[in-house]
Structure 1
Amino acid sequence: INDMAGRVPELSSAFMLAKQRGTDVDVAVLTDEDTSHLGRFAISDDVADMGAFKTPTLRNVDVTGPYMHDGSLETLREVIEHYNNGGVTHPDDAVNPYLSGGIRPLNLTEQQMNDLEAFMKALTSPQYVRGGNQE
């Protein structure tokens, strides 16, 4: 975040140019490598919001993928493993320098990950799935 704060003028300029070209705000934030990490700053223009993203509800979470702010994880299991690995997708990946310092490996057992996945899937309404609804 500190590195990003030093780049606010550059990042916000790139974002504003995309908006001026008529690019949808969500598309501008999610498809450009530089602006994809702006987070709520793209909406609020508050430097404190850099790298902060709206946390979606877990209601019907099993059918709302792909997950993460950039859609990079396809399944709930991938999300659980991502956080179990301390915020990295694969244990050998480098830690993203923009992550909060509070994100640490969870050290969940295989059974705990299975239980968490089952719990999250239980938050999806069968009626919602049968009806073909999507939020």
Structure 2
Amino acid sequence: MKTIKPILFFLLFFFTISCVNQKQKDQEEIKQTVKNYFNAVKANDLEKCKLLIEDSENYLGVIQGEFNFLHKNYDEINPNDVLLRNILVKDTLITFTNEKEKYVQYIIKNDKNPNNLKKPLIITFMFYKPVGYDKIFNRVILENHIGWDK
């Protein structure tokens, strides 16, 4: 009985450590994917962006439109690459399927609009483990971008 307790303690400890390590690895992979996306936008590399998005060949128009908007407004949206340093991975739950996803979201106000009459630009990257955290799961990542840059 005395030998069983240390073994159980060791197994519990090992399980806890491995879960924490997996969560950290998942978050690092998501952060790297977001960095790769923004770096591709900055470098005007649409092909690299398409490789980072799941099922991109079926959504080329949307992906290209959002890519062009982000590239055109990159210096205003991401001055000094501040978004690359502030990546916060959050958990969410899809209500109708009860499946967990992870996401990174940015809310960016337009400084050109002093009255703040326009809604802020929202950039959301969704990630789904079965697809892999090296792929962005949602094909539409921008909200409120039409007219935001005016």
User: What TM-score comes out, normalization by structure 2 length?
Assistant: 0.25
Output the TM-score relative to the length of structure 1: 0.26
Q: Structure with the greater relative contact order (CA < 8 A, sep ≥ 6): 1 or 2?
A: 2
When Rg is computed on C-alpha atoms for both structures, the one with the higher figure is 2
Indicate the structure with greater strand content. Answer: 2
